Structure 1
Amino acid sequence: MAYVASNILKSDSKKRKVEVIITKGLPDRKRSRIEAKCKRKAALLSLLRGKQVLEKEKEINEDDSVKNKKGKNNVLVNCLPDFMSGENKDSVVSNIKALAKMQQETLVHMKKRQGTPELLLKFPALDISETSTDLYSKSEVSPPLFLTDLQQLLLYATIGPAASFKPRWCQLKNSNKVSSTFLIVLKSVSLADFRKHKECFPNLIKHFKQAVEMISPTQFGNTAEEEFFRVPVSVNHLWKLGVTRSKGKQLMAQSLKKERDVHPVKYAGPDAFPRTLLLLNPLQLAQENYPLPVKTENDCYKEYVFSQDTYEKVTDQSPLFGLDCEMCKTADGKNSVTRVSLVNEKMETVYDTLVKPKYKIIDYVFQFSGITPKMMEPVTTTLQDVQHKIKSLLPKDAILCGQSLNFDLDSLKMFHPYVIDTSTIYNLSGFKNKKVGLKRLTSHFLGKEIQCGNQGHSSVEDASASIQLVLLKLKHSLEFGDLALYSGPLIDCDWKIPREISSESYAIHGNRKYFFNAGEKSIYRSFFEILTENEKKSLMIDREVVTHFYENEPMILESKTTDVEAVATAQKSLYNNDFTWLQLNGFHEILHTSPDTHGIKDCFCMLDSQVGKLLESMFSKMMVAVLLTGRNSDKYECENAMTLVKIT
């Protein structure tokens, strides 16, 4: 029989009531559970009460450390209920001591962690150790990263939550504890150079444990500084980044005027604003993991094809097509496309076909795909057949619409430059990175129910819903259906519409220029202006041929003629700035002299030595990144970039 006895423990500040359950005649398992619960409650109470008593006894016995130590044990014992047996008391006291020790260790560890910034990669890093023979993990492959990914990390490390985006490729804990950021750029040095001449970079290997491959900006006709110092923002995200409504409308008007000047077609029809303003820009395509026609060391896109042989420039008159795919799990461990549907603006199904995967289907995932074994028995259409058909159906300036269309294009193994993603143009949560499913969007805005019942999804239905959502937004405004556009403090700021990348650049030959030439699709902010707004100091150390482009920027400029002078200046300025850009041009300058292998190795050793001197001079809690920019090795090939990053 069980009964409850209550004991009131008195304190100077308040009374606490402890219920102690004493068991007799209960089954062993039930009794042990009750006793354990009793011990936990008693231990918790003792810790809470003991903390107050310890503080008082510490004041009394501050000159007698031994007595004070004994006092702690007495406090723990005296806090226990008087009616507990001696054996139980000993057990509880032992537990209390262990808990107190664990609590103290945890507090010390937490305090230490809270004061130190920590960088954790979300993607597999390159193995840059001296003993490694392959930079890549055999089990994991990192998705393509761009220089804007590094830009976002350093911006977030410098100004914290005031940055528009958190880096997608890593997690920075305690960003407010980062003392300053420092970027060292080795111009024209590539990942391939590092891999081939690893013995020339002992300081990089010694000081850095984390490194990632990045797409060299030379692949799309930019330099590292041009790519890094422009912070891209799509026009439809102006309000998300805190721009005043009047400023946003002014910029929209400017973009519309520019569009009409370039394409003097009378703007008419149901659209309330140009549909090109909803297109994902290059940064957003990368952030949303869309397949992009870039060259990587692991050649992850070697089987992908363009959606057109040639493209035309997108305009506000370009046609919209809804695209959706259904997937099944196949023997290669991946989700393979088994149905493809394409719908035009008139809600006409222009293409709908089942697709036979390359590998055997092991799970039809019927509740989602709606695909059955019987449906797939007569199918002979291959993925290559679908790719050719889509090429023949789409106009050269077609805009594809869909919900998280990156998964569909990835399964189709196709590149397409003009995309409107309904998961990014609608937002019901008010949070920038929280997406809402197509089913809920369709129900909320179109008043229709899709993906109902137990017969799986219909790709025709989903494609139609996506294009209807896009058309609905085009009838209203950029803000329509996007609660996040109203979040954040409103400030006024200067924005820049960039020059177009020259289509003649050999680095962006063929169709690739349509993916990276964002002049029509985006506006940019200056990296230095953002830092200045947040009261951060900036320093740029480079050759005069680079610094003269930034004379009007709000920062300190130092033009140096040699790398030795540049490094010396950087060492003197370590404590004076929140962000420092240092570009070493030694290797870039000797490339024009066609150096032999010995000359190349000497140059790499010199660069590594200079970087080593800087790293030895840096103080605690600095975020340091070393960027190997990569370069074009011939007319069409590109050697990619590599970024090494650490917190000192």
Structure 2
Amino acid sequence: MSEGVSKKRAARIERRKSKISAIFKVDEKQENVFCRIEDEQLVEPLQKQPKLSDEEYHTLRIKLREKKRQIQCGPTFRLIQLGLTASLNLPKPSRVPVLVADVQSLFLYTIVGDTYNYDSYKWCDLARWNNLTQTLIFIVEDVSVDEFEENTDIFAETFRIFEDGVEMSNPAKDGFTLDLALAYVPISHQMKNRVMEGYPSLHAACLDGYIHGVADPTVQKVNANTTAESHAVKNHEVLSGQPCGNDITTQEKMGQKNNAADTEKLSRESSDLSNIVETKTIGATRHNEQRRQSTEVDSMNKDEVHVSKIGSSVDDSKSDVSMQEETSGCSRLALLLNASQLISELYPLPGYEEYDNFKFTQDIYDPVTDRSPMFSIDCEWCICVDGSYGLARVAVVDEHLKTLYHTYVKPDVEIADYLTRYSGITEELIRDVEKRPFDVQQDLRNLLPPDAILVGQSLQSDLKALKLFHPYIIDTSVIFNMTGTRSFKSKLKVLAASFCGRQIQNSMDGHDPTEDAIAAMELVMLKMKMGTEFGDLILSRNAMRKIKDSALDHEIQMKLFTFIQSHNRSATLITTSLSLQKSYHPRLLKLKKAVVKCKKADESLVDPVQIVLASDFQDAVTMTRASRFNSSFTLVHTYAGREQHNRKEKLKEIDKAIANMYTGISLNGMMIVIFGGKTNPTQNGACLVRVKKRSI
């Protein structure tokens, strides 16, 4: 009996030896010769392999256990929740694209993981993030998700490598370029405290360029009141068309060289705009006032409009407003955008071919004064098939935060993207709506007085959706600046939370235009009370004060590569243009020891960020391969170009570059490929993710 058991045990051991030996032979790419008969059944190998000795068996068994351990302990990536709804495996009409901020959150997670409490965007899960050996991010702009999916034969290697991919919203929909949307990252409350260990105050860290957009309670408060003389000077600057304190030059906005030709063009356009406004303000405007006061529209269902008679309320409140502004920090006139700012902020202006079908909000305008009423406007829109903004919802709020107007609208052009995540608009919601953009134009022309001041966040987009011109504008994205640079604006949600303690845009059903309009009006009223420097880091580094403590985490931002260095991680930046390099470039390349988070107390600081400027796409790929990915974080940002000539050859070149880069990364390294989309905001991008793992 025992002899039979011993034989069976010996046979099992021999089978295990053969199995383990076969596994390692497959891993080493040694071929076993099999023959296949016509009925597709496998037969025994032509030559049997020699039996393993006990010592060889135990050695291979140890190696197999080690390989399994490495695989099980390696990082893993998978899509969850929002990521599954944006997956490229879904039909395009069923997808809900992730945001650039969602993709940026993955960048941060590869660096800090779950050691800090960041907002969870819930689109992906990266397990065992601390076992990542490196992160390579390859960004190619001017390639859309449609172009990627329509050329599966060209992107054969890319499709073979990446199993997880999502559609990414085009940042152009929000008025951002991809580099700016990725270059600035939020920091946690713990990170803020560590900043204080290396600097005497957050204000000092901001002045040093380590962080951007801060509120430091230790900063000495400036006087909230301004003199009558300063009011007169600022009013003269605005009415004369000269730059005031919060002016933004065309050079800062568009990154153009400040040469004589540009200056002459800007002066000529400013002069033309001033002449148009002056012409339209000539003459009496009583007929406009009577028409405005007589407007009252009954409430209806989805497409109903609510309009209140505002003539009496405005007139009754003018004396109160005037009394308030006598003791306020600044006049509403000091906050108006002048002609140069309207041009540099890309507001719709008459005389341009693209705005030929736009209308003025009034036939005749009255001169704007300290008593001119303010109306906050916010619109929600969709993207139409021609790339234009399609008006879908409008709300108007007065200075008393009373809703004067609200309606749903059906665009004149077929809708390509409802932008439901932002707008809350769905096909079902406006299917039965009868009101058209022309009707809204007429409603607003009847509602607004001839000296009305329009208030809003980046109001140029709303006016483009409304297809209206208006000369008197207060833009909260201009009068407030928390980033330290004019070209990168703070979101309304951040401004409202930071300065007013108001939480907005938290609904999963999209934005509420009434809520946003109220928030914008509250910001302007606060600005008038505190003065022009309040909330503007450009005008005064000491102006960021009296901000709610609960909002501190949202208001502080840091350059991406400064953030990486702060966690003592090596990094390399490779770009193909100076503008891209400027967006990402950290101001401080060598950080103070106190602000750097090290794993060990005696850990030395890594070298500063390596910054490489490539001449073109191919040069960037060559430099990336030559670097051998020595840094733990490498970002390569390139352009595919918009030329259609030899387009397929260019796409093949991109596919080959992706395959070569993936081959070069180390085991347990992560590669992220981002296609940035097209200049047309309807052309979204894509994000592909893969962790390189050892196969058994």
Q: TM-score range by the shorter chain?
A: 0.3 to 0.5
Query: Greater strand percent: which structure?
Result: 1
Greater RCO between the two (CA within 8 Å, min separation 6)? 2
